Amino acid sequence: MDPTTGSTVRIAGLVRQFRTGPERLTAVDDVSLEIAAGSVVALTGPSGSGKSTLLHLIGAIEQADRGTVTVDDVEVTALRRAALARYRQRVGFVFQRYHLLPALTVLDNVIAPVLPRRGRADHAARARELLDAVGLAGRERALPAELSGGQQQRVAIARALMGEPRLLLADEPTGNLDSTTGAQILDLLLDLRDRHGMTILLATHEPAIAARCDRLVRLGDGRIVEDVDLTDGEDPADTFDRASRLRL
């Protein structure tokens, strides 16, 4: 495994059900998927198709009822307690609504998830570097409410990178942003992948975002209904046509 290219993700026969009263709803229904190290995969599909649940299962935020998730050589679905906690710290997660802590400064939001490991001072230098990398140098002492939506998402991305993840899971990271800002956030993610080596799986409704990924996996009712390689024989600059053909 090349450490510069991100994690390989293998999903086999994954099932997640929810009980809603007497009914049982299958949110992820027998999903099998292999994701190459270093690729950027768009996870699409209508609301309720299981995108978030699948991301939560891969990030071990939720537990599968059946099937396996294997990241590099670790079978995540078999991990218990301490090992699971270590795995979660190594995966980056970015959410649609940023989930920043409003009373903490930008710098402390970035440091927060790794605080249990050593003290704040040990992490501040790296957090500053990451804020610089996401274009927020000089805003370390600001509060989240003083930033635009795009800036808040940049803070959330810097926070997700604190654990040096080789796998980044992003749940509609541009869903709350206008299209220009959304495109800039995707630029940032693609650039981080190129510079640091990461595998990125991102849920999105937006054709313009999906079109710039390496691969599109579309869910419908918890199942994979389409899986397309977007790197095949196309000029990567010519994403407008492709976006209009994707019909998300």
Ligand X SMILES: Nc1ncnc2c1ncn2[C@@H]1O[C@H](COP(=O)(O)OP(=O)(O)O)[C@@H](O)[C@H]1O
Instruction: Pick from 11, 14, 27, 94 the residue near ligand X by CB under 6 A.
Output: 27
Q: Which is nearer to ligand X, 56 or 215 (CB)?
A: 56
Q: Which tokens is 120 given?
A: 């704040």
Pairing of strands 167-171, 91-94: parallel
Among 7, 8, 39, 49, binds ligand X (CB under 6 A): 49
Query: Is residue 96 part of the contact set for Mg ion (CB under 5 A)?
Result: no
Task: Encode 216-229: b = buried (16+ Cβ within 10 Å), e = exposed.
Answer: bbbbeebebeeeee
The one among 45, 150, 173, 182 contacting ligand X by CB under 6 A: 45
The angle, 0 to 180 degrees and rounded to 10, between the axes of the packed helices 179-196 and 149-161 is: 20
What is the rounded CA–CA span in Å between residue 111 and residue 99? 14
- Choose the one of Mg ion, ligand X, none that binds residue 149, judging by a C-beta under 5 to 8 angstroms depending on kind: none
Q: Tell whether residue 20 is a contact of ligand X (CB under 6 A).
A: yes
Closest distance to ligand X from the beta carbon of 203 (Å): 6
- DSSP element (H, E) containing 13: strand 9-20
> To which H or E segment does residue 225 belong?
strand 223-229
52 is an interface residue for Mg ion by CB under 5 A = yes
The listed partner (ligand X, Mg ion, none) that binds 27, CB under 5 to 8 Å by sort, is ligand X
Spatial neighbors of 56 by CB under 8 A, at least 6 apart, are: 62
In angstroms, give the least distance from the CB of 227 to ligand X. 16
Contacting residues toward ligand X, per CB under 6 A: 18, 20, 25, 27, 45, 47-53
